[in-house]
Amino acid sequence: MQTKRFGEKYGQYALVAGGSDGLGYAFAEAIARRGLNLVLIARQEDRLRAAAARLLETYQVDVIPLAADMADFENVKKLISALDVSIGLLVYNAAFAPIGLFENTIEEHLALAADVNVKGPLLLAKFLSAPMIQRKRGGIVLMSSLAGGQGSPKIAAYAATKSFNAILAEGLWKELRPHGIDVIACCAGAVLTPGYKQAEKTRKAPGAMEALAVAEKTLNALGGGPVIIPGLINKAGRFILARLLSRKAAINIMSKNTGGLS
């Protein structure tokens, strides 16, 4: 979508949850390229402010950093409510991924995954969509994952939360479309972020993509269908896993891809 049309459609400010680095920063950069101002939310204030400074210097857009934990939604809501800006685009990229066997994962990490990956996008989409409905325009991007298409050993809880986001986006795509609000779930494969490179000790997963490429393809698809799968290899993989193979076979294949995570 051209810069002018993008601004007309989604307004002055976009909010990126988890926007200080990795894929979240790539989304912030892709949005800034389109001329929108930014509200960035992340836990680590030093990284957040550094990211905001880089975006301001490079793209000359207003960048408001909010240091907050998406697990504490009431605080996030309070901070956003105090802003005197109109947010017309939400990108929910914040996530917590417990890695390892379920039997070895502590309850606190499972609860955190549910708070950040499920409760966070659900309630933030509800909160920000209300004024979008009144304005008759807006956009919501929820990050899902190819891991959420079937059970994914060693990231079982994370994969389940990502399945939730894809189904939520599909329902909201239909419900909010009459109000002029575009909704899409990005079902990405492996994204070459610093966090992924640290977790994947053995080899790069097939179809792994650079973060900025994933962000650009997702934003370009906003306003189309309810789901995007960036990358031809990932599209083919999703088709094979979901349509051609049994669930048992799909889980076994995914296990081979996630077995090296630690």
Residues 6+ apart with CB under 8 A from 70: 17, 18, 41, 43, 76, 94, 115, 116, 120, 124
Query: Rounded CA gap, 160 and 96, in Å?
Result: 12
- Please, which pLDDT band fits residue 30 given cuts at 50, 70 and 90? very high
Q: Could you give all domains of the chain from N- to C-terminal order, each with its CATH number?
A: 3-258 (3.40.50.720)
Q: Over the stretch 185-229, which tens digit does the pLDDT of each residue have?
A: 999 998 987 665 555 555 567 789 999 999 999 999 999 999 999
Give the helix/strand (H/E) hosting 195: helix 194-199
Would residue 13 show up in a list of annotated catalytic residues for this protein?
no
Using alpha carbons, list the distances in angstroms from residue 73 to 20, 27, 115, 166, 207.
Answer: 18, 21, 8, 20, 34
Residue 207: the pLDDT is 81
Would residue 158 show up in a list of annotated catalytic residues for this protein?
yes
Catalytic residue among 158, 201, 204, 248: 158
What global pTM score does this model have? 0.92
Catalytic residue among 162, 174, 204, 248: 162
